[in-house]
Amino acid sequence: MRDASRRRSRTSQIRMHVLGAMLLIALTGVGLSSPAQAAAPALEAYVSQPFVQGPSSLGAEIETFDTSCPSTWWFGLSNEGVRSGPCSSLNGNIWGGASTTSGTPTRTDPTHQTKYGMISRGQTLTIQLNHPASYVGFHWEAGDPCNTLTISNSGTPITTFTTEDLMGMIYSGSIGSWSSNDYLINPARSQWVGQAFAFIHLVGVHGLTFDQLTFTQTCSGGFEFDNFTIVDAPVTLDPTTVVAITDTAPPDADEDGVSDFEEDTDEDGISNPFEDNNDDGVADSLEDSDGDGINDYVESIRALANTGVPSAQEVLFGLGLLVAGVTLVMIRRRPT
């Protein structure tokens, strides 16, 4: 488990580099009032609406992994990326494999799936671009708690994204008419998985560029991805088809600096929400002993926080825990 200082460092990194003062731009397209802020280089993070598996029309170069996970991504195109580290190309299954490169929301059946890229437990994969780019997008598939993507420039990390960041966004209440639960369906199979499937857009603005992508998988399962997309020139996204990944701090009911998602009271290496204390195959985060529609762990957090009425953050946290519980059970049953 990461300690409190590491957690604070990662949250601070996200706040400094990912969005900063850029949230209004994502939904309105309007710059901020301060010229200094408007001119500051930044990396904006967006997600497409549910069931989108491709980048839409961006003049993009796409690596589909349909024949292999090659040693050079985007081979023969304008900005090749040289791979170091392991990577597999697997046939489409419940965990990965898009059915289209289109930016239009699409749900199909397994007969339409193509291959996808993946790294496994303990592996790190790095893609070094031939020259800096301003945009990268990909279909993040079966997101689990151990998926991490780091964006760097000239060896200096710009920001790090995890599935927790993604899940915090899709349950943040800013999705509008889209259903947050739709992001937990594999659109290429029209099948509920309980892990996140979303097309992510990372956009450099005001001159920010990057030249390295690093993937890590720190536990069992895998980091699955498809339709990796690169664009050298600045990109403007349609605000009606994407939303910004917001900078929402995770719950910390006892204010000890450790996210409630990561607390490990008995120090057994399994965080509290993912324990299965009665060994019934259901993570504690999914148990509802009194049948009131609120899982036991959220109720314990409310008691710890001494709150009588559930806040919006608690509702978000409860939904996140439900998803996390399903994720854990599926990861444990899933082959490495």
171 and 277 share one domain: no
Domains of the chain: total: 2
Q: What is the pLDDT of residue 326?
A: 57
48 and 128 share one domain: yes
How much of the chain is helix, strand and coil, in % rounded to 5? 25, 30, 50
* Confidence (pTM): 0.66
- The answer to the question of residue 206 being in a domain is yes
236 and 281 share one domain: no
- The answer to the question of residue 48 being in a domain is yes
- The answer to the question of residue 259 being in a domain is no
Output the CA angle 128-130-134, nearest 5 degrees. 85
Q: Which domain holds residue 298?
A: 272-333
Quick one: pLDDT band at residue 41, thresholds 50, 70, 90?
confident
Output the CA angle 46-47-49, nearest 5 degrees. 140
172 and 312 share one domain: no
Is residue 318 pLDDT above 60, yes or no? Answer: no
80 and 22 share one domain: yes
Sheet with 147-153, strands from edge to edge, namely 72-73, 81-84, 124-133, 210-217, 147-153, 156-162
Average pLDDT over the chain reads: 76
Beta carbons of 93 and 335 less than 8 angstroms apart = no
29 and 73 share one domain: yes
Q: What is the pLDDT of residue 324?
A: 59
pLDDT top residue among 311 and 65:
65
Q: Each residue of 265-301: pLDDT tens digit?
A: 888 767 666 667 777 666 665 566 777 655 565 555 5
- The answer to the question of residue 264 being in a domain is no
Quick one: pLDDT band at residue 215, thresholds 50, 70, 90?
very high
- The answer to the question of residue 255 being in a domain is no
Q: What is the pLDDT of residue 261?
A: 57
User: CA torsion, points 88, 128, 224, 233, in degrees to nearest 10?
Assistant: -130
Q: Each residue of 62-111: pLDDT tens digit?
A: 999 999 999 999 999 999 999 999 999 999 999 999 999 999 999 999 99
